A and B are shown apart, each in its own frame.
Chain A
């Protein structure tokens, strides 16, 4: 079974530039998550989708971050404009339903963003 796919794997940009990340979840998984993991910290949830609807985006810095999952499958996360403190690994994860708290999340390999 194919896992969660993410691209690009690495991205280096200058501050104030824009960047976009792409995620393709495991086939059939209804729930998709975007996390930010800063070096030395655990993943922090940015946004959760159930199919193409947003379940939780309370920790998404909406002045610069946006995400969409238009057809309930792939998702993109955008940062515009980027700041130095956005340097992190952006992890995408998916789960089958996400409606039960015991649902297993499967993570993608992540996109490592460096903002100079």
Chain B
């Protein structure tokens, strides 16, 4: 089993839709969790960290489920500009090295 797994998609949704991605991790000692956004042929950029209590930033909500070992990203009211690949990254406790998933591709169409 891979350390960090994501459904590659693509998720094809209309503007205004709500879409959610999951990212599962295999190491129960994982401590820090992040969502990155990567546009086509660009570098990854941090979208948000994921906190135990869950956190929200505008239309984006991140959740952590330690019991089932996954994190999720919810995007409400999708915009065309949300089209990108969303990468999750996980740090194991005591490690400074993040492990990235392969990313989930989102396509928002008119």
Chain A residues in the interface with B (C-beta under 8 A): 31, 40-45, 48, 55-56, 91, 98-110, 112
- For the complex with contacts A45-B99, A100-B96, 6 further pairs of A-B residues with Cβ separation under 8 Å are A42-B4, A42-B6, A43-B44, A43-B100, A91-B43, A102-B49
Name B100's closest neighbour in chain A (CB-CB).
A42
Given known A41-B102, A42-B101, contact A101–B44 (CB-CB < 8 A): no
CB distance from B60 to the nearest CB of A (A): 16
Q: Which of B86-110 contact A (CB under 8 A)?
A: 87, 89, 91, 93-103
A103 with B96: CB separation less than 8 A = yes
Asked if B61 is an interface residue, CB under 8 A from chain A, the answer is no
Contact sample, A vs B, 28 pairs, CB 8 Å cutoff: A31-B96, A41-B102, A42-B4, A42-B6, A42-B87, A42-B89, A42-B100, A42-B103, A43-B44, A43-B87, A43-B100, A44-B100, A48-B96, A48-B97, A55-B96, A56-B96, A56-B97, A91-B43, A91-B44, A99-B96, A100-B96, A101-B32, A101-B93, A102-B32, A103-B96, A105-B46, A106-B46, A108-B43
A109 and B43 contact, CB distance less than 8 A: yes
Which single residue of chain A is at the shortest CB-CB distance from B101? Answer: A42
Nearest CB in chain B to that of A92: its residue = B43
Which residues from chain B contact A48 at a C-beta distance below 8 Å?
96-97
Q: Which 3 A-B pairs have CB atoms at the shortest separation, nearest pair first?
A: A42-B100, A107-B43, A101-B91
Known: A40-B102, A44-B100. A101 touches B43 (CB 8 A): no
Q: Please provide the chain B residues from 45 to 72 with a CB less than 8 Å away from any CB of chain A in the complex.
A: 45-46, 49
Task: Please tell me if B1 contacts chain A, counting CB pairs below 8 Å.
Answer: no
B31 located at the interface, meaning its Cβ lies under 8 Å from any Cβ of chain A in the complex: yes
Cβ contacts under 8 Å, B4 to chain A: 42
**Which residues of B sit under 8 angstroms from A40, Cβ to Cβ?**
8, 102
B-side contacts of A100, CB under 8 Å:
96
